[in-house]
Amino acid sequence: MSQSSFSQKSISQTKVTIDYVQYLNERAELTQPLPEWASKPDTLVSYYREMVQARQADQKAIALQRTGQLGTYPSTLGQEAIAVVIGSVMATDDVFVPYYRDHAAMVIRGMKQADVYRYWGGDERGSANPDCKEDLPYCVPIATQVPHAAGAAAAIKIRGQQRAVLCTCGDGGTSKGDFLESINLAGIWQLPLVFIINNNQWAISVPRRLQCGAPTLAQKGIGAGIPALQVDGNDVIALHEVISHALHRARTGKGATLIEAMSYRLSDHTTADDATRYRNAEELKTGWSKEPIKRLQQYLHSNGWWDEQKEQRLQAQVADHVQQSVDEYLKTPLPPVSDLFTHHYQQMPVSLTEQQMAMEAKVTKGGGHD
């Protein structure tokens, strides 16, 4: 069949409009009228305190890794606002499905800072969260947690519960089939699920411009039939508004929402990375000019809600708390050798039972952990 025999058809494309939400810009100036709750200092000061806590804890983790006392660690430098707001606005009975940079959100939801260090020190006991037992643990493989979030949300919907699942991933994760299949499922099944993309502009060494040809990552939600928007990921006020609204929609049966939080990764990808090999200094300088902690601090100062004395007290309190967490982590006793066997099967096979008995006998004879 010749090419000329095909009918020619014009296909028009409708321009996709993605809302961008911001209240407080990088100069700590308001860009629109504030919601009522933000006209008072309480919540904003709480967010500031939590971000300072997150940054000091993050700096300590890197120091521990550099001195051989922690494994490879992914910093949250410059991205503290997203995790802090997530942890603060979620309800206790919501389900959090994190990726590997969500330390602050997990701590706010009940995980001990010492357990964060334990996990990245190679101790799986650090994954436990006694306050939110249905939250999932850290997920290091890219986007593999997103289908799990869809499954949890489906279970909540089947049970008729007024709860929400919130799942995070990075910009690189949005290119994975796991992510795309999950947002499609969330749209067609109207799942109580909030997707938050931490678009920190880099997927290890791959810049955002090479990650996806679309103008935004948020518009991937349009193809799945779910509301989607962008938010300034360094603006705690905007984050609070959009995430709270999305969670309310999910809990009240109105379905999923996709939020692209625009941030910037001020650190290396992890402590195993060297971003100076692929990122120029000018771009990093621009990123620092937009970071969330200084922005909120300036706004609090300008309203008379913060001063140097409060800052000094906070820094000292946080430093003391972080050091206590480090001391607790470093004093963690070794797990029993039986842990190598007992967390794999509901009913352990005979072959593993025999291996466990042999190993325990060897340890008992040797007087230590071999």
159 is catalytic: no
Out of 101, 265, 295, 329, pick the active-site residue. Answer: 265
Out of 269, 295, 299, 329, pick the active-site residue. Answer: 269
Q: Rounded distance, CA 77 to CA 278, Å?
A: 18
Q: Rounded distance, CA 85 to CA 40, Å?
A: 17
Strands 165-170 and 193-199: parallel
Q: What does 272-284 look like in DSSP terms, one character per residue?
A: T--GGGTS-HHHH
Show the CA angle centred on residue 77, arms to residues 282 and 207, nearest 5°: 50
265 is catalytic: yes
| Dihedral sign computed on CA atoms, order 31, 36, 37, 42 | positive
Out of 27, 66, 125, 278, pick the active-site residue. Answer: 278
Helices then strands, each counted (H, E), the chain: 13, 8
Strand partners, 194: 166, 257
The per-residue b/e assignment along 262-283, b for 16 or more CB within 10 angstroms, e otherwise, is bbbbbbbbbbebebeeebeeee
Neighbours of 345 (CB within 10 A): 10
100 is catalytic: no
Q: Rounded distance, CA 269 to CA 76, Å?
A: 9
Q: Rounded distance, CA 263 to CA 288, Å?
A: 11
List the catalytic residues.
265, 269, 278
